[in-house]
């Protein structure tokens, strides 16, 4: 039986399913497409069966594959639909600590960096590795993404980031 950083396939899916599904949901504003990307991520894990140094390496690999799947899905969808509008979310009283609704309103390139930084708690160096980008590019994207979140939240006084 193949192990992934000491975990069986089933254990890996149970442990990282929520994380991968959240990442897909943040990147794709369509639930069905997000679920497809989620499933494709775990199919690739099973088929490719890569070796991992530790669980952090496994998690980073899963997130990278999930993001790639989402990007591929978005490209495919943009060819099929000329105009795609993201759903509009309004924050509720319970959303004060959750930035998911606000992330859905930010452009994808900033959404990816903001999600990995604030939701998955990755540092800039780690985000750069996961996204295959320069560290300074990630810093810039994070800064610009924060500015966009401030505008969504209504200014400095309501900033949650």
Q: What is the number of other CB atoms lying within 10 angstroms of the CB of residue 146? A: 18
pLDDT in tens, 121-144: 999 999 999 988 999 999 999 999
HSE at residue 69, side-chain half, CA atoms within 13 A, is 25
Alpha-carbon distance of 95 to 131, in angstroms, equals 28
pLDDT-derived band at 158 (thresholds 50, 70, 90) equals very low
Q: By mean pLDDT, which of 8-12, 97-101, 118-122 is the weakest? A: 97-101
Q: Considering only residues 158 and 115, tell me which one the structure prediction assigns the higher pLDDT.
A: 115
Alpha-carbon distance of 161 to 159, in angstroms, equals 6
130 and 76 in one domain? no
97 and 22 in one domain? no
pLDDT-derived band at 69 (thresholds 50, 70, 90) equals very high
97 and 151 in one domain? yes
CATH number of domain containing 136: 1.10.10.10
Looking at 28-54, list the stretches that DSSP marks H as alpha helix, in order from N- to C-terminal side. 31-48
77 and 106 in one domain? no
- Let me know: does 62 contact 41? Beta carbons within 8 Å: yes
Q: How does the average pLDDT of the chain come out, rounded? A: 83
The strand pairing partners of 4, in sequence order, are 7
Alpha-carbon distance of 70 to 111, in angstroms, equals 12
61 and 26 in one domain? yes
Domain of 20, in residue numbers = 1-85
Alpha-carbon distance of 136 to 80, in angstroms, equals 34
Provide the number of structural domains found in the chain: 2
Residue whose tokens read 């088929």? 47
pLDDT in tens, 32-66: 999 999 999 999 999 999 999 999 999 999 999 99
- Let me know: does 69 contact 37? Beta carbons within 8 Å: yes
């Amino acid at each position: 039986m193949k192990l992934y950083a000491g975990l069986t396939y089933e254990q890996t899916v149970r442990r990282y399913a929520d994380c991968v599904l959240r990442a897909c949901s943040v990147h794709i504003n369509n639930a069905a497409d997000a679920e497809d990307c989620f499933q494709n991520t775990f199919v690739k894990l099973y088929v490719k069966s890569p070796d991992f140094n530790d669980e952090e390496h496994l998690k980073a690999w899963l997130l990278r594959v999930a993001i790639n799947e989402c990007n591929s899905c978005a490209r495919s969808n943009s060819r099929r639909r000329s105009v795609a509008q993201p759903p509009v979310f309004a924050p509720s009283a319970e959303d004060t600590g959750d930035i998911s609704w606000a992330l859905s309103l930010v452009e994808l390139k900033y959404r990816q960096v903001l999600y990995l930084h604030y939701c998955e708690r990755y540092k800039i160096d780690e985000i750069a590795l996961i996204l295959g980008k320069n560290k300074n590019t990630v810093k810039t994207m994070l800064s610009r993404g924060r500015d966009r979140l401030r505008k969504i939240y209504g200014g400095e006084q309501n900033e949650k980031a």
